[in-house]
Amino acid sequence: MTHTPQRSIKSRAALAGHPLHPVMIHFPVAALMALVASDLAYWYTQDPFWLRSGLWLAGVGAFGGWIASVAGIIDLVTVARIRRLITGWSHAIVAVVMLSLASLNWLLRFNEPGAVLPWGLAISLATACLIALAGWLGGQLVYEHAVGVDVEKSP
pLDDT-derived band at 7, boundaries 50, 70, 90: confident
Q: Is residue 111 part of a domain?
A: yes
Residue 84 placed within a domain: yes
* Structure confidence by residue, pLDDT tens digits, 68-77: 999 999 999 9
Average pLDDT rounded to a whole number, residues 18-36 = 97
Classify residue 103: in a domain, yes or no.
yes
More confident call, 17 vs 134: 134
Phi and psi at residue 138, to the nearest 5°? -65, -40
Check whether 5 has a pLDDT greater than 70. Answer: no
What confidence score (pLDDT) does residue 114 get? 86
Residue 86 within a domain: yes
The percent of residues above 70 in pLDDT, for the chain, comes to 94
What confidence tens digit (pLDDT) does each residue in 96-139 have?
999 999 999 999 999 998 889 999 999 999 999 999 999 999 99
Q: Helix H segments across 5-85?
A: 21-24, 26-45, 48-78, 80-83
Strand partners, 147: 9
What pLDDT score was predicted for residue 146? 93
Q: Cβ(50)–Cβ(38) under 8 Å?
A: yes
Residue 6 lies in a domain: no
Question: Over the stretch 77-100, which tens digit does the pLDDT of each residue have?
Answer: 999 999 999 999 999 999 999 999
The residue range of the domain holding 90 is 20-148
Give the DSSP H/E element, type plus range, for residue 19: strand 18-19
Residue 30 pLDDT: 98
| Residue 47: per-residue pLDDT | 97
Is 117 inside a domain boundary?
yes
Does 26 map to a domain?
yes
Residue 155 pLDDT greater than 80, yes or no: no
Count the Cβ atoms, other than its own, within 10 Å of residue 90.
16
- H or E segment and range at residue 14: strand 14-15
What value does the mean pLDDT take over residues 140-154?
A: 84
Separation CA 60–CA 29 (nearest Å): 9
More confident residue, 4 or 79: 79
Residue 59 has pLDDT above 80, yes or no: yes
Residue 77 identity (one-letter amino acid):
V
Q: How many domains does the chain divide into?
A: 1
